[in-house]
Amino acid sequence: MYDSKKLEEQLKGYRIEGDIGELINLITSNSQVSIHLRDIIQVLSDCSINYVRIGYGDTLGEAYKDAVVGNTCKLVHIFSPIGEITVHDLYSFIMSIGDDVIWGYSSESMDGSKMKLVMILN
């Protein structure tokens, strides 16, 4: 289990708005494509506010629209119900938000059938 105190210590000095607990979930999730602490630190800005946003939707596009508030997406982790997304869908979605975005992916049993995105924007 990842130590949340260690994460909080590493994030000191960054202005973060949103649920930092979701960042711990990213690091500790059983992912097919993982996001690590170094990925999170890499995308954080020490000059501006960093937003942790969560979006839900029946599609990746809907979940993205639910989460984005006009800032640039730097990192996204996609949580998808098992069997709901293809490799082509995943690739197309990532390319649509930027080929330099860091991303992770988890396919798992979820409550309901909605996609969930956890994003860092700044």
**Within 13 Å and on the Cβ side, how many CA atoms surround 31?**
17
How many C-beta atoms surround the C-beta of residue 19 within 10 A? 13
Q: How far is CA 61 from CA 4, 55, 78, in A?
A: 31, 10, 11
**Mean predicted confidence (pLDDT) in 15-22:** 90
Q: Identify the pLDDT of residue 120.
A: 94
Q: What's residue 1's pLDDT?
A: 52
pLDDT tens-digit profile of 94-118? 999 988 899 999 987 766 668 999 9
User: pLDDT tens digits for 76-95?
Assistant: 999 998 888 888 999 999 99
Nearest C-alpha neighbor of 115 from the set 71, 61, 74, 52:
61
Backbone phi, then psi, for 102, in 5-degree steps? -85, 135
User: Where are the domains positioned within the chain?
Assistant: 4-121
Q: Which CATH number fits domain 4-121: 2.40.30, 3.90.550, 1.10.3470, 3.30.1330?
A: 3.30.1330
Percent of the chain having pLDDT more than 90?
48
Instruction: Identify the burial level of 61 via C-beta atoms within 10 angstroms of its C-beta, where 0-12 means exposed, 13-18 middle and 19 or more buried.
Output: middle
pTM of the predicted protein model: 0.87
Percent residues over pLDDT 70 in the chain? 93
